[in-house]
Amino acid sequence: MKKTINYIRFFVPLLFGCVPFLFFYKYYPNHLHYQEQFQLFLLTGDYFLETASTPGGIANYLGRFFTQFFIYAGLGAFIVSAFLLCIQQLLFAIVRRLKKDLSWTLLTFLPAIAYWYLLCDENSQFGGLIALVMSLAFAWLGTLFKSNRLRNIYLLVMIPAVYWICGGATALFAALILLYEWLMRKQKRKTTAWLAVAAALLVTVCPFIAKFFLQEYPLYRFWWGVDYIHFVYFPPTTMLFLWVLILLVVVAICLIPNVKKEKNQRIALLINIIFIGLISFLWVGKNGYAKNISKEEIMAYDYHCRMKNWDEIIRMADKKSPSVPMTVTCLNLALYKTGQLSEKMFHYFQNGPEGLLPSFRRDFMIPMVGGEPYYYLGFVNTAQRYAFEAMESLPDYQKSVRSIKRLAETNLINGKYKTAEKYLHLLENTLFYKAWAKETRTHLYDEAKINAHPEWGEIRRFRTHEDFLFSEREKDMMLGMLFQQHRDNRMAYEYLMAYTLLEKNTTIFHDYFRMPKDFDYPSIPKSYQEALIYIWGLSHDNLSDIPYPISNSVKQNVEEYAGIYTTSPAPEPLLKKRFQKTYWYYLHFREYKKAKIETQYQY
């Protein structure tokens, strides 16, 4: 039986470490990418001092240090699974100090599973996991003292230190050592009670002392210290439940009677394994995964758009058409970048103009994605505004490495070299953006090199050189102005055509379609053909006289579509089956909400 227990002690933790790794690497990689883009970890002494000079700052610093590796899903998944395993192993080590019978010690996996579930929420930050691991480690060290007096001194001395390192998690550290004292020193519980009073007073006083010296922060921040969630102005009350769960697991294991018979020990271990597997499935699988899989999809579109993986975005859309404005924005940009926007845009779900050019919202995620098409179109100032506002809207007051990179690009394109140099200097102090920043620095003050760049040169050439009033409700006019200045700007033209089609403004589409342009298509794109033949059919009976080269298949389809639409009392189900991927179906049956936001500023 002892060999069986040793095998289980080794293989069950190994299995547990592999499952979260596969979970985050295979199914939730973009939750990791999402975390990485919303911080700017600098390898400088000033950044360390700024972060570590507040309660819980060490945990925050280490959390951000490890989060920067989340840019690679494999590395991020390994780091997350390793620290989740650390929770279990440290709790197991503490329990072993209290009880030798290992029949029910697999319950030590419960807090790790609970934190795994918390990490399925995109608002959870990695610093909280670091704080929990360190508080457990300090508590385990306290149980190693054989002298009761030394252990008591260690507790009282370490409470302020652990508070500064781990923030509010020092309460868990103190509670675990006091619980150890209570369970081990049954004859001197009066002494333990007085020690508990002293420890509780010390834990309570620490935030007030910190507030006295650091008055720029509100008091509630000092109670928690660590940024457990992005929205730091909300108390992370779930952590209290997790700390209570840890204490309950320790108490439960210690109070459960020892299992003496070898057969019963095996049964107990089997029950443990089944229980842990069932809890993992229900807690993480059915709740954590199922509730947040739609967010993972949005994050995947965002990540691939950020990394310019256009083919991957289209591959995702072919499997499941996106329906959220952010994802539709990424898809439409990917369709243009692969030369398919004007041909296939209505092969996928479209939710109106907002899915093409999103309106600005004071948020830290939507402007991050919404600025992408503006950047490539040549609306450099708009892209810069979106990136800056997204960064300044971050609820934990950090800086975004993604925004910093985009701000460096927009200022470089605009010729604001001093400002671009400032942003590049920040990126040169990072681990994974240092090489890009150093290469980009070689473009500073070199007009010829920037103009020759395949991306920046084209965007710089397509920038508007005339002042105008940027209006959220007149994006078609802005696109038209941009195209009139550069008639070879294919993206401005196709986005202008797409915008009018999505607005269902066929009259203006027809006028814009006839504008002269400095490029040609081998044939009129399919969505344009469908719009043109529809416009023609509104005032003409004979489709053969249309003055545009419309394909025979489009002519046949529109006649069949018109026949069903005009004769059937309920045409939508019939038309959806055959014509869902046409402009006509979008025109008649797709409803969309117009943005109520109106933003105007001098461009």
Cβ neighbours of 169 (radius 10 Å): 30
Structure confidence by residue, pLDDT tens digits, 158-197: 999 999 999 999 999 999 999 998 888 766 778 888 899 9
With b meaning 16 or more CB within 10 Å and e meaning fewer, what string describes 174-188?
bbbbbbbbbbeeeee
Provide φ and ψ at 601, rounded to 5°.
-155, 155
By DSSP bridging, strand 600-602 and strand 469-471 are antiparallel
Cα–Cα nearest to 63, from 53, 52, 49: 52
CA dihedral 603, 391, 297, 73 (to 10 degrees): 130
Instruction: Please name every residue paired with 471 in a beta bridge, in sequence order, or none if there are none.
Output: 600
Alpha-carbon radius of gyration of the chain: 30
Report the pLDDT value the prediction gives residue 417, as an integer from 0 to 100: 97
Cα–chain-centroid distance for residue 603?
A: 31
pLDDT: is 48 or 216 the higher one?
A: 48
**Which segment of 51-65, 93-107, 572-586 scores lowest on mean pLDDT?**
93-107
Residue 31, classed as helix, strand or coil, is: helix
Structure confidence by residue, pLDDT tens digits, 515-554: 999 999 999 999 999 999 999 988 888 888 899 999 999 9
pLDDT over threshold 50, residue 77: yes
In a domain, 8, yes or no: no
In a domain, 389, yes or no: no
In a domain, 496, yes or no: no
Asked if 408 and 423 touch (Cβ cutoff 8 Å), the reply is yes
Question: Which of the four pLDDT bands, split at 50, 70 and 90, describes residue 43?
Answer: very high
Report the pLDDT value the prediction gives residue 12, as an integer from 0 to 100: 78
Cα–Cα nearest to 222, from 170, 177, 284: 170
Structure confidence by residue, pLDDT tens digits, 221-280: 889 989 999 988 888 989 999 999 999 999 988 887 766 555 566 666 666 677 677 776
In a domain, 225, yes or no: yes
Question: CA-to-CA distance for 516 and 532, rounded, in angstroms?
Answer: 17
Question: CA-to-CA distance for 171 and 183, rounded, in angstroms?
Answer: 18
User: Which H or E run includes 162?
Assistant: helix 148-166
Report the pLDDT value the prediction gives residue 282, as an integer from 0 to 100: 65
Report the pLDDT value the prediction gives residue 260, as an integer from 0 to 100: 59
| DSSP secondary structure letter of residue 365 | S
pLDDT over threshold 60, residue 2: no
Asked if 597 and 354 touch (Cβ cutoff 8 Å), the reply is no
pLDDT over threshold 80, residue 148: yes
Tokens (6 digits) for 430: 């990072």
Question: Which of the four pLDDT bands, split at 50, 70 and 90, describes residue 5?
Answer: low
pLDDT over threshold 90, residue 15: no
For 323-348, what is the mean pLDDT?
A: 95
Structure confidence by residue, pLDDT tens digits, 483-512: 999 999 999 999 999 999 999 999 999 999
Side chain identity, residue 229: I
Structure confidence by residue, pLDDT tens digits, 451-471: 999 999 999 999 887 776 777
Report the pLDDT value the prediction gives residue 265, as an integer from 0 to 100: 60
Cα–Cα nearest to 371, from 391, 348, 352, 351: 391
Question: CA-to-CA distance for 301 and 310, rounded, in angstroms?
Answer: 10
Question: CA-to-CA distance for 595 and 351, rounded, in angstroms?
Answer: 11
Instruction: Please name every residue paired with 601 in a beta bridge, in sequence order, or none if there are none.
Output: 470
In a domain, 298, yes or no: no
Report the pLDDT value the prediction gives residue 79, as an integer from 0 to 100: 97
Report the pLDDT value the prediction gives residue 601, as an integer from 0 to 100: 46
Question: Which of the four pLDDT bands, split at 50, 70 and 90, describes residue 8?
Answer: low
Write down the mean pLDDT value for the chain: 89
pLDDT over threshold 80, residue 105: no
Question: Which of the four pLDDT bands, split at 50, 70 and 90, describes residue 64?
Answer: very high
Domain carrying residue 142: 123-245
Residue 475, classed as helix, strand or coil, is: helix
Asked if 440 and 424 touch (Cβ cutoff 8 Å), the reply is yes
In a domain, 210, yes or no: yes
Question: Which of the four pLDDT bands, split at 50, 70 and 90, describes residue 360?
Answer: confident
- What separation in angstroms does the CA of 341 have from each of 19, 333, 346, 356, 371? 40, 8, 9, 11, 18
pLDDT over threshold 90, residue 359: no
Q: For 530, left (φ over 0), alpha (ψ -120 to 50), or beta?
A: alpha
Half-sphere exposure of 551 (CA within 13 A, CB side): 13
Report the pLDDT value the prediction gives residue 269, as an integer from 0 to 100: 67
Domain count, the chain: 1
pTM above 0.85, yes or no: yes
Provide φ and ψ at 229, rounded to 5°.
-130, 160
In a domain, 12, yes or no: no
For 14-20, what is the mean pLDDT?
A: 87
In a domain, 393, yes or no: no
Cβ neighbours of 8 (radius 10 Å): 18
Cβ neighbours of 487 (radius 10 Å): 14
